Chain A
Amino acid sequence: MKKRNENKKNKKKNREIRIITWGFVVLFLCMAGYITYYSVTNHQELINNSYNGRQQALLAQNVRGRIYSGDGIILAQTITDEEGKETREYPYQNLFAHVVGYAVNGRMGIESQANYYLINSNAPLSEKAALDISGAKYPGDDVYTTLNVELQQVASTALGIYQGAIIVSEPESGKILAMVSKPDFNPEEILDIWDELIADKESSILLNRVTQGLYPPGSTFKIVTALEYIKENKDTYQNYSYNCTGAITRGEERIQCYHGSVHGTVNFNRSFAKSCNSSFANIGLSLDRQLFQDTLEELLFNQSLDLPFTTGTSRVEVSEQTSEGDMMQISIGQGTTGITPLWLNMLTCAIANDGTAMKPYVVDYVQNSAGTRIKTFSPAVYGKLMEEQEAEILSGLMRDVVEEGTASRLSGLSYTAAGKTGSAEYGTVKGDSHAWFTGFAPAENPQICVTIIIEGAGAGGDYAVPIAKRIFDAYFEG
């Protein structure tokens, strides 16, 4: 009792010292917490920094790991010859150039994104110990991707000598099954052709057109315009009717239907199926600019995507001040609007997946040399882009495009497809256009989602849709 009282008095007497003591203790706990948090969360990112010498140290210790396709076929591996010289081999050479990438003169693709795993080794201790005795390097961990060699081959062959981009993905998971960008290069020869690639400003071969290429969306943008119209006219959009005379004029601006077609009287579905420019320009004029901006924001326009690989930013400029002429241009996907094929693929996947966009991903899991999984990447939701009901309506519209519209080459097959074509005019010469198609199949239970752009080919229905057919065929029948 006495002692406690004395303590209490002592405490009161030394209140200042106690305060300072606790102050420093709390400060140090914060600092320890901060250091722990920082080191754990920044571990990978900092290893990949080019100023960090540990990369070289790891490469001196470990052989760079292999990259596999989803079905276990080697896409990249390092071969060590008898003198210990290492060469990185890409068995499919040009085929996976952009998506798998390269690892000399900087890095690109999966070689860059999964660099941390490839240069680290989680081989079992016993194996490492044995390798120590023989003086060999440890095997780096292997990266398994979601890629499908067959689909990649079909897509690449179908694109042929054209420049362009194709992405094939699973709407439910976000897995990327194929990613083709042309023109391509052989990653094995990267050192020899490097100067050439850098010097060639025109075709930008090193650019992954799927993730970074910015294209005018053309008629594929009508998906967005249609969505906004449905949102603003929930109950009445089906009553829409317009008489297409082949063109619509507002002030100076004149919008023509593709190749001068005259569609006559069209309702909402038919405007979409036939991709009637005049009708969609008309729809665009009726849109509320403020609400439209909100929708565009929800659809991830004008923001960098939060993904583990470099992506271009899809952009569109709408404001209260946007003129009627510009609204008409925007509604049919012309003007200053630019999108990446990846973005369009995410939008299409969201429509196929009840409005929810999954995070597109290409690295599936990481495995050590003994076959133990070190790290697994699970499907993750990117965001809800639209309501389930809206996705259903858009899906129906896209179904009509196949059944009675511009993608009729996909009708009457063993599977049911849905999609939207586009012919995006570019440059100054009238009629030069990129052929677009984005769509999914089967329409009732979507399993894959395809987005295609062929630069300067012409109409989407004529050039992009047949490629989609070959990819769907390979997936469902092959």
Chain B
Amino acid sequence: MELYVSEFSKYVIALLLIFYTYECFAVFRFEEEAQRKGIYIRQNLFMFLFHFSCFLVICFETSDITYLFFYAFQQIILYAAIVLYHMLYPKTNRLIINNMCMLLIIGFVILTRFGIEKAVKQFIIVTGSLVIALIIPFFVHKFKFLKNLKWIYAAVGIAALSVVMILGQTTYGSKLSYSIAGLTFQPSEFVKILFVFFVASALYEASGFFEVFTTAVVAAAHVIILVISKDLGSALIFFVVYVLMVFVATRNFLYVIAGLFGGSGAAYIAYRVFTHVQVRVQAWKDPWSVIDSAGYQITQSLFAISSGGWFGLGLYKGRPDDIPFVEADFIFSAIAEELGILVAVCLILICVSCFVMFMNISAGISDKFYQLTAFGLGVTYIFQVFLTIGGGSKFIPLTGVTLPLVSYGGSSVLTTLIMFAVIEGLHIVKQEEEELRKRGERKVRRKRKPVIDEMEDLSGDEIEKEE
């Protein structure tokens, strides 16, 4: 019986996620949230069935029915989040909320499979983070002064990173975190958000050479501190986010080229100077030759990715524990092994779907500050996903960052939920801009009915001034 359940469920689980993922992209066929309602409801249904099937398998495999209680709690919290968000902010983007919950569900399932203790800890952190995330959209679209705090963002960010560099404990060769009252914080996670706000507030008004230069100095300070702390993954994220934000702000492709050259030069110097960079590159180029030492993690990760096949070995049937730090840095490999390549690819696509929606929101906002913020956060998110999945599958060298919302880790999940919430706030900003524009259009139409063509010259900014 148990065997039939686990064999049959593999296909059901993969299929449900494929349906869900399909809807993630079907959303983009429609312009208006109202038209997408059916899709969102179907998504919620697939989520629910996926979540339930996974926990049913967990109960069967462990012969422990109490997991269903844990499932029930998760279910309540996640659906409360979906419903409350919708009630408090009718103008939210529901795709982002759904994807956020879906990724959390995948994380809960795989973490529960690793061990109930960490899963419960993660669940508590997620619950707290969701409460915080619930109020953030309000602040984002009400507090207009967020635009004016650029030096505060920079100062707080650099200070937080420096404190860690100087005082922080060493975790596995890199100084990443410090503890307050038993809770371990990894400030580089939170500083990512501050950094995006800093760049956006510094460049939204003017983005001439002077502005770019001053922000570059601050960005370099962030990156250098992180490199010294040996947090190469975060350093790379800050760098890429900065270059791409400058590109969007200035609309000048030369900055990307300059960034590319500068980045390559810096990477080369880092490679020559730091032995830990050399070790990482070596382990990427040929992990099999250093399988005992530097290549151990990545080869174990590759074993996991390659052993699952299309539909996976089934929950509890793989050997994720063979990979060191599987719950943080290599969770994708464990998912690929036990839930299969199809689920793993769907997971990648769900992340891409989030990113595309973030970019859509960014492109739809006229206010440059908000636009840059949405863009920067989106790039931060997707580039981190790229680093962790690409690193764990030997697509790129390993940098050791977490898979947002799925991996175990309080700082990571809290930061990502805040990021998602900020973007929801920005979506509300966008919706309100659109409403204003429509209202303005109606006004104009009444005034100058015959001259329709001229209306097209009205950009959002002008309408805002009219307000």
Contacts and interface: CB of A to CB of B under 8 A. Distances in A.
Interface of A: 2, 5-6, 9-10, 14-18, 20-21, 24-25, 27-28, 31-32, 34-36, 38-40, 42-43, 46-47, 49, 51-54, 57, 125, 128-129, 132
Contacts of B305: 35, 38-39
27 contacts: A2-B452, A2-B456, A5-B456, A10-B363, A20-B248, A24-B352, A24-B379, A25-B352, A25-B356, A28-B351, A28-B386, A31-B386, A31-B393, A32-B348, A32-B349, A35-B305, A35-B348, A35-B393, A35-B395, A39-B306, A40-B341, A46-B303, A49-B299, A52-B303, A52-B307, A54-B303, A129-B3
Nearest to A39: B306
A21 B336 contact: no
Nearest to A133: B1
B356 A51 contact: no
A2 B455 contact: yes
B335 to A, nearest CB: 11
Nearest to B379: A20
Interface string B309-332: 100000000110010000000000
Given A31-B395, A39-B336, 18 more contacts: A14-B362, A16-B251, A17-B359, A20-B244, A21-B356, A28-B382, A35-B336, A35-B348, A39-B305, A39-B306, A40-B341, A43-B309, A46-B302, A46-B306, A49-B299, A49-B303, A125-B3, A129-B4
A316 B152 CA distance: 75
Nearest to A11: B363
A27 B395 CA distance: 11
B423 interface: no
B435 interface: no
Given A20-B359, A24-B382, A31-B390, A47 B247 contact: no
Interface of A: prevailing SS: helix
Contacts of B352: 24-25, 28
A125 B1 CA distance: 10
Closest 8 CB pairs of A and B: A14-B363, A21-B359, A39-B306, A16-B248, A52-B303, A46-B306, A17-B363, A129-B3
B355 A38 contact: no
Interface of B: prevailing SS: helix
Residue from A28, A34, A43 having most chain B Cβ neighbours under 10 A: A28
B185 to A, nearest CB: 29
A43 B312 CA distance: 12
Contacts of A10: 363-364
Contacts of A24: 352, 355, 379, 382, 386
B7 interface: yes
B338 to A, nearest CB: 12
B3 A35 contact: no
B375 interface: yes
B348 A28 contact: yes
B122 to A, nearest CB: 25
Contacts of A25: 352, 355-356
Contacts of B3: 125, 128-129, 132
Contact of A17 (B291, B300, B344, B362): B362
Contacts of A36: 341, 345
B107 interface: no
A54 B319 contact: yes
Nearest to B348: A32
Given A16-B248, A17-B248, A46-B306, A39 B341 contact: yes
Contacts of B341: 35-36, 39-40
Interface residue range, chain B: 35 or more
Contacts of B199: none
B307 A35 contact: no
Interface in B412-467: 452, 455-456
Nearest to B375: A17
B345 A35 contact: yes
A462 B297 CA distance: 59
B2 interface: yes
Nearest to B360: A21
Interface of B: 1-4, 7, 244, 247-248, 251, 291, 296, 299-300, 302-303, 305-309, 318-319, 322, 336, 341, 344-345, 348-349, 351-352, 355-356, 359, 362-364, 375, 379, 382, 386, 389-390, 393-395, 452, 455-456
Contacts of A5: 456
A28 B356 CA distance: 12
A21 B363 CA distance: 10
B319 A57 contact: yes
Given A20-B247, A31-B348, A129 B308 contact: no
B263 to A, nearest CB: 15
Given A17-B375, A31-B395, A38 B306 contact: yes
B307 A47 contact: yes
Nearest to A24: B382
A25 B354 CA distance: 11
Contacts of B248: 16-17, 20
B356 A31 contact: no
Contact of A21 (B7, B322, B355, B452): B355
Nearest to A21: B359
A4 to B, nearest CB: 11
Contact of A51 (B299, B336, B386): B299
Contacts of B355: 21, 24-25
Residue from A35, A43, A132 having most chain B Cβ neighbours under 10 A: A35
B344 A53 contact: no
Contacts of A35: 305, 336, 341, 344-345, 348, 389, 393, 395
Contacts of A20: 244, 247-248, 359, 375, 379
Residue from A20, A34, A53 having most chain B Cβ neighbours under 10 A: A20
A24 B351 CA distance: 11
A43 B456 contact: no
Nearest to B346: A32
Contacts of B296: 51
A405 to B, nearest CB: 51
B345 A42 contact: no
Residue from B363, B390, B394 having most chain A Cβ neighbours under 10 A: B363
A291 to B, nearest CB: 38
Contacts of A49: 299, 303
A14 B296 CA distance: 44
Contacts of B356: 21, 25
A102 to B, nearest CB: 24
Nearest to A3: B31
A28 B383 CA distance: 10
Contacts of B382: 24, 28
A96 to B, nearest CB: 30
A42 B304 CA distance: 11
Contacts of B303: 46-47, 49, 51-54
Contact of A129 (B1, B319, B362, B456): B1
A24 B1 CA distance: 44
B308 A39 contact: yes
Contacts of B302: 38, 42, 46
A46 B307 contact: yes
Contacts of A42: 302, 306
